């Protein structure tokens, strides 16, 4: 087991996010499974499409997240094996940070779809329950582990948005068998896409304010109208 600075352990069979230590701006994270983890090294199982990670001397960042914190390990690839594709990496250091929601979320019901990681993955229908410029909470048909990567597609206003995301937590929806609540953090969101989300959220909030104001007006008691009849003097 690979310990972090505050006791969070990396265990065999955990799913983790793996990135090259100095990735390009558009490079997404990869989801890998831990085969073995020790105090000084760890072994990761990779998919054939992730061979670019399996190069001796490459420095990687391995991240594991739960609902409260993220722990990352800086590692260097020391050995690569085939069938199955795996790498052994030496642990250089570890870091921990508390997950803080820095963006206000707005509740809504918005149709979307997402593509899980993996060569045989297919698009899944989903419904967004709340949205912010930093991520979304959505209902989906598949259980996912924290750290899994997904490609999310949704329509915000008139903008069709496609962005990479990382699953931060996944729970079963109460009273709905086969439906899961996913917390997804956006990854490498472009300024244009972030701006589209912000404008969409502002429009939604203004619409809610207008609707609330209209409903309030309908409930304001108004004095009765008195009918005055003119009579002959």
pLDDT in tens, 147-197: 899 999 999 888 899 999 999 888 887 656 678 889 999 988 888 888 888
Residue 220 in this model has a pLDDT that exceeds 50: no
Mark which of 98, 130, 156 sits at the end of a domain. 98
- In this structure, is residue 219 part of a structural domain? no
Q: Do 25 and 111 lie in a common domain?
A: no
Q: Which long-range contacts (CB under 8 A, 24 or more apart) does 31-38 make?
A: 31/117, 31/147, 31/148, 31/149, 32/62, 34/10, 35/86, 36/12, 37/1, 37/2, 37/9, 37/10, 37/11, 37/12, 38/1, 38/2
Q: Do 52 and 132 lie in a common domain?
A: no
Closest among 158, 109, 165 to 133, alpha carbons compared: 165
User: What was the pLDDT predicted at 211?
Assistant: 65
Residue 25 in this model has a pLDDT that exceeds 70: no
Question: What are 55's two structure tokens?
Answer: 């190069």
d(CA 216, CA 207): 14
Provide the domain count of the chain.
Answer: 2
Reported in sequence order, the residue ranges of 122-216 that DSSP labels E, i.e. its strands, are 124-131, 135-140, 149-156, 159-172, 180-187
- In this structure, is residue 34 part of a structural domain? yes
Q: What's the residue count for the chain?
A: 233
Q: Do 130 and 160 lie in a common domain?
A: yes
In terms of residue numbers, what domain contains 22? 2-98
- In this structure, is residue 226 part of a structural domain? no
Residue 215 in this model has a pLDDT that exceeds 50: no
Q: What is the mean pLDDT of residues 130-140?
A: 90
User: What was the pLDDT predicted at 23?
Assistant: 52
Q: What CATH number is attached to the domain comprising 30? A: 2.30.110.10
Collapsed DSSP state (helix, strand, coil) of residue 215: helix
Closest among 89, 106, 116 to 21, alpha carbons compared: 89
Q: Do 65 and 120 lie in a common domain?
A: no
Q: Which of 16-30, 42-56, 123-137 has the lowest mean pLDDT?
A: 16-30
């Amino acid at each position: 087991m690979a310990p972090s600075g505050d006791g969070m352990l990396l265990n065999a069979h955990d799913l983790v996010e793996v990135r090259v230590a100095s990735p390009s701006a558009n490079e997404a994270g990869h989801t890998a499974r831990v085969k073995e983890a020790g105090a000084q090294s760890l072994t990761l199982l990779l998919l054939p499409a992730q061979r670019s990670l399996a190069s001796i001397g490459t420095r990687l960042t391995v991240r594991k997240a739960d609902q409260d914190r993220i722990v990352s390990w800086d590692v260097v690839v020391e050995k690569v094996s085939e069938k199955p594709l795996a790498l052994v990496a030496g642990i250089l250091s570890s870091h921990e940070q508390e997950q803080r929601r820095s963006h206000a979320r707005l509740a809504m019901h918005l149709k979307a779809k997402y593509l899980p990681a993996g060569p045989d993955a297919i698009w899944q229908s989903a419904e967004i329950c709340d949205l912010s410029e930093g991520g979304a909470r959505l209902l989906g048909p598949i259980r996912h582990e924290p750290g899994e990567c997904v490609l999310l597609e949704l329509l915000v206003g008139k903008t069709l948005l496609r962005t990479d995301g990382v699953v931060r937590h996944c729970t079963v929806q109460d009273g709905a068998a086969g439906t899961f609540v996913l917390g997804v953090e956006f990854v490498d969101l472009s300024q244009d896409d972030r701006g589209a989300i912000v404008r969409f959220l502002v429009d939604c909030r203004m619409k809610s304010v207008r609707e609330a104001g209209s409903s309030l007006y309908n409930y304001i008691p108004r004095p009765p109208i008195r009918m005055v009849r003119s009579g002959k003097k």
